[in-house]
Structure formats: C-alpha cells, structure tokens
Structure 1
Amino acid sequence: MERPALDVAVVLRKVPTSSQWQPWRWELAEVVPHEERFGTEPRLLHRGDDGERWLHPAQRVELYRDEAEGYYLNVASPAPCWFVLWRMEEEASVADEPIPRPLIVTLSYNEAARWLDAQETVEQVPAPAHVVEWMRAFYEQHYVPEPKKRKRPDSFRRLEDRFGQPATVSTEKKYGRGEGNG
C-alpha cells in the first residue's frame, strides 16, 4: 500500500554572524513544494554580502500510521511546522566548500523529538494551511489515543518510610508516661 506523500524542496541559507570565530552560520530558510524544473541536485540560488541560499530539491515527505500521534501533536501546537534534519557535508560536492544537506523532512513532532534526543541538527519552519489540513485528515483517520490508565486512590497505597521499607501506623503511645501511672 502506498503511503500519502508530498515532494518538497528545502532552502538553507548561510547568514553572517557577529562572532569573530565563526563569521557564518547555516539555518533553515523554508520548505516549498517541489517543482520538476528544480531537478534533483542542490543548486545555489543567491550569493552576496548577505550570505547564500541553496535549494535542495526532491525531498519526499511521507505520512506513516505509526507516527499519527506525532502529526496530531504538530497540528495541535500553536504553530504547526515542517521539521528538517540536516547535516554538513564532509567534503565539498557542488560548492567551493561543504554545504549543509537536508536528510529527512517530516511533519511528525515525535520523530523530530527523537532526532533532537540523538543530538541531530533539526530546525523547523511553519507549514502552510493546506499541508496542515492534509496532516489533520491523516491523523483523524489513523490516530487512536491510548486509553488513560486509572490511578488507584492514595488510600490503597502501601505505607513506606523514606527508605522504601513498609511502615506501620499505631495509635498507642510509645514514649512517656501513660495515663494513671503516676
């Protein structure tokens, strides 16, 4: 069975910084619909004193049933977005120096969180309304929230001391003089 998919292109930009040690940095600029005229190889869109912009075409975004919760979380957020995982090239390929390459584009909040946990470079840009609606239709069809587990009342919990050992409660007076012992 074929998964729902969109083909997109990622634009990454090189921008100047105020740091004397790192005069430039790369960042995600936008995710746009892929067009055949873009081809399949990265290409320079702009170079100037303000930096560079590179187009990375032919990035496929697929929706997976097991990521339905991630799509739900993205749509439910204040600003639904694209998540792009990118890495710097080891060696220059199409430019005079290494450039960043997008590896994966997703709409799943959970997938992006896993990449961030793995210390990957993940950036986000807003997703357009028609993509958000496409994602919403998918998760509404496939997302099944896990049932909430019933929490036992605290009165049923075993009493423990601060070391985790069973504790007892007594109404008898342990110390001091009892009544009538005079």
Structure 2
Amino acid sequence: MTEHPYTDVAVIMRCERIDNRWQPWRWSLAEVVMHDPAFGTEPRQLLSDEREQRWMFPGFRVELFRDDAEGYHLNVESPAPCWFVLWRMDEDDGGDAPRLARPVEVSLSYHEAGRWLDAQETVEQVPVPPEVLEVLQAFVAANYQPEPKRRKRPDSFQPLQDRFGNPASVSTEKHRGGGGRG
C-alpha cells in the first residue's frame, strides 16, 4: 500500500440568522483549521446566540494523490489557493431551530471540487494557510507533469481561405469541359 501525504483538519461551519421569511437561517463555510487532538472526534457547537451559531466538525483527512496532481497544480496556480469543502444539510426535523450543515469531504483539488459541483453538491472554499500551501507546492513540483502540447487541427467550421486570406471554396462536383478525348 502506497502512503499518500496527508493532513488532518477540522471544518468550522457558520449559521447566521437572516431577516427572510422563507429562510430564517443561512449556513456557510467559516474556515478549515489544522486538527488538534483536543478537538475530539465529535461535532460540537462553539458559539450560539440569537444571531449566529458556529459548529466544529473534526476528523477530516485530506490526502494528496499523484494521479490528481493537475488538480492541485490548478489550485496552486490560482490567484487564491484554497480548501474546497463539500457540505450537506441534515434532514428537517420540523422544529424552529436551524438544521445542521455537515461537511462531507475536504480537498485541495480543483478537479475534485469540479466533480462535486457537476453532481450539484454544495461546495464552498476558504483560503489555505501558507504552511499547507508550501507542502502542496512541493507535492505539485514533484508530481505534476504537464501534458505535451499537441498540434492544433484546423477548425472545420471556420470559413476556408487561400494563402492570401481570400475566401476559397471546395467543390466535389466533376467539371465537364471541352477538349474531351474522342
């Protein structure tokens, strides 16, 4: 079994009360923090008042896989490298309290986040700290090999032009003209 570089993290979700009769509460990703054994293993409420709640969800392992090096490369090369967090809402229990938003996965790969979004999941991002970015950059430098450039084929839908830029045409009809053999 191959050992993959990894880091353990905890996700902090924020729930704020909004003045909207259709949706009184709104959840969002607050931050991703490095795991500390003092966090334990179970979700716990960090803050609760009439306007806001914050919940910590420990126990997420973010592994780096060589076959997803391009996805990490895209993250590293972006203007703001980030964590991607997929989260889902708990089922509605019918009460007045807000339902709990639970993180499901955490990643550093653009490709993985894209697959989640394609599946119509809720995905948010927060900036990655410098110490994690350094490890990610080293992993990308060691494992990412850009694909060689391929010759671009002409676009078949583009109008044909001769070498001087004048419109050209191609015909499949046979031209029958004089001077035939007899």
Do they superpose with TM above 0.5?
Answer: yes
CA drift of 1:18 comes to: 2.9
The aligned counterpart of 1:40 is 41
Return closer, same or farther for 1:150/1:97 CA change in 2, 3 Å cut-off.
same
Cα distance in 1 between the residues matched to 2:12 and 2:24? 20
CA distance in 2, matches of 1:148, 1:107: 26
Aligned to 1:142: 143
Q: Matched residues in 1 for 2:98 and 2:80: separation?
A: 34
1:90 shift after superposition:
2.6
Matched ranges for 1:105-116 at <5 A: 105-116=106-117
TM-score (norm 1): 0.80
Q: Distance in 2 between matches of 1:132 and 1:77?
A: 12
1:102 aligns with 2:70: no
Displacement of 1:133: 1.0
List per-residue Cα deviations over 1:137-174 (Å, max 9, x = no partner). 001111111111112467xx9x6xxxxxx94299x9xx
State the aligned residue count: 160
- The DSSP-based 3-state class of the residue aligned with 1:131 is helix
Residue 171 of structure 2 aligns to a residue whose secondary structure is coil
Q: Is 1:14 aligned with 2:15? A: yes
Provide the alpha-carbon RMSD of the alignment.
Answer: 2.5
- Distance in 2 (alpha carbons) for counterparts of 1:45 and 1:74: 30
Aligned to 1:49: 50
Alignment of 1:65-84 (within 5 A): 65-84=66-85
Aligned pair in 2 of structure 1 residues 55, 149: CA closer, same or farther (>3 Å)?
same
Separation of aligned partners in 2, 1:91 and 1:25: 14
Match of 1:4 in 2: 5
Deviation at 1:91, TM superposition (A): 6.2
Question: Which stretches of structure 1, 4 residues or more, deviate above 6 A after TM superposition?
Answer: none
The DSSP-based 3-state class of the residue aligned with 1:14 is strand
TM-score (norm 2): 0.80
Distance in 2 separating the partners of 1:88 and 1:77:
29
Letter of the structure 1 residue corresponding to residue 52 of structure 2 = G
Q: Percent identity?
A: 58
How many Å separate the matches in 1 of 2:153 and 2:106? 42
- Listed one character per residue, the Cα deviations across residues 37-95 of structure 1 (whole Å, up to 9, x for unaligned) are 11000000000022100000011000011110011000100000000001112367xxx
Over 3 Å counting, the alpha-carbon distance change for 1:168 and 1:76 in structure 2 is same
Q: Which runs of 5+ in 2 are unaligned?
A: 161-168, 176-182
